[in-house]
Amino acid sequence: MPVLTPKESASNKVYINESKTQEASGTNAIVQLRSVTKSYPNGCHALLDINLELTKGEFLFITGPSGSGKSTLLKLIYGEELATQGEVIVDGYNLNTTKGDHLSKLRRRIGIVFQDYKLIPQRTVAENVSLVLQAQGYTRKEIQRRLEPALKLVGLVNKANSFPDKLSGGEQQRVSIARAIVGTPPLILADEPTGNLDPDNSWQVIDILQKLNSFGATVIVTTHDENLVRRCNQKVLQIHSGRWVK
């Protein structure tokens, strides 16, 4: 069942999938890290004995200086890296043992936003946003149905046919958010999404992420921008040298 916001007009609705966590495990946790340590092959200990439990529908900021382990933490959550020790459980999947089709299935339920947007320069905004759905075998009609609310949410309907190099940095980041959420994932991870943006554009991006959270998505945002975090009344965890700061 989709979760809808009562506040949005019908044309602006974005549908967030219900997490399957509840049925699968009987808990409301969508992300669980239990005593997680991550050491890279070069011997770098990026995370040390990290615990984290995120309930469905939460918004979490993770702050910390460069090199403190923020990106590694998100990579463990979307399965780009494996924990060296401990357990990572996301949306009912144990990442230590999830592979192949199951991992692809989980990844479709996670929207990811990066600092550097990662848009395809030769593709229009609409194409960039809809490519994910095409790859997943959605029909053209279904793609069209999903594209408009996603672009509306980020305020870029009028740029649907523009190419990324004709957009400002803030607009490019908003395209990447539309791309992340067009498949209506219940979990959104944003790794320093405002790292290349000025304060106004940063705020717009955070505002959109908070809006998605109000629609029912669970959102994790990493940042080293303390000002931005102070402006929001959201849960904050601070990481330093791979450990939570108490």
Ligand X SMILES: Nc1ncnc2c1ncn2[C@@H]1O[C@H](COP(=O)(O)OP(=O)(O)O)[C@@H](O)[C@H]1O
Q: Site residues (CB under 6 A) for ligand X?
A: 40, 42, 44, 46, 64, 66-72
Identity of the residue, 70 or 211, whose beta carbon is nearer to Mg ion in the bound complex: 70
Eight-class DSSP state of 158: G
| Residue 46 site contact among ligand X, Mg ion, none (CB < 5 to 8 Å, cut-off depends on kind) | ligand X
Contacted entry of ligand X, Mg ion, none for residue 233, CB cut-off 5 to 8 Å set by kind: none
Q: CB-based burial of residue 214 (10 Å sphere; 0-12 exposed, 13-18 middle, 19+ buried)? A: middle
Residue 44 contact among Mg ion, ligand X, none, beta carbon within 5 to 8 Å by kind:
ligand X
69 contact choice in Mg ion, ligand X, none (CB below 5 to 8 Å, kind-dependent):
ligand X
Residue among 34 and 243 whose Cβ is closer to ligand X: 243
210 or 241: whose CB is closer to ligand X? 241
Q: Exposed, middle or buried, 137 (CB in 10 Å: 0-12/13-18/19+)?
A: exposed
Q: Under the criterion CB under 5 A, does residue 223 sit at the interface with Mg ion? A: no
Q: Assign 220 to helix, strand or coil.
A: strand
Q: Which residue, 155 or 169, has its beta carbon nearer to Mg ion?
A: 169
The size of the interface with Mg ion (CB under 5 A), counted in residues, is: 2
Q: Which is nearer to ligand X, 62 or 178 (CB)?
A: 62
* Cα distance between residue 111 and residue 180, in whole Å: 4
66/233 with CB nearer ligand X: 66
- Of 67 and 155, CB closest to ligand X: 67
Q: Which candidate, 76, 71, 112, places its Cα nearest to that of 96?
A: 76
Closest separation between CB of residue 66 and Mg ion, Å? Answer: 7
CB of 158 to ligand X, least distance (A): 34
Among the listed residues 48, 33, 29, the one whose alpha carbon sits nearest the alpha carbon of residue 239:
48
State the nearest-atom distance from the C-beta of 198 to ligand X, in Å: 21
Residue at token pair 């408009």? 148
The CA-CA-CA angle for residues 204, 79, 51, to 5°, reads 80
- Tokens at 176, concatenated: 């990447």
Shortest Å distance, C-beta 160 to Mg ion: 31
DSSP assignments along 163-205, one per residue: -GGGS-HHHHHHHHHHHHHTT--SEEEEESTTTTS-HHHHHHH
| Interaction partner, residue 42 (ligand X, Mg ion, none; CB < 5-8 Å by kind) | ligand X
- Minimum separation from the CB atom of position 206 to ligand X (A): 18
Query: How far from the centroid of its chain's Cα atoms is residue 149's Cα?
Result: 18
Within 32-91, the residues that bind Mg ion by CB under 5 A are 70-71
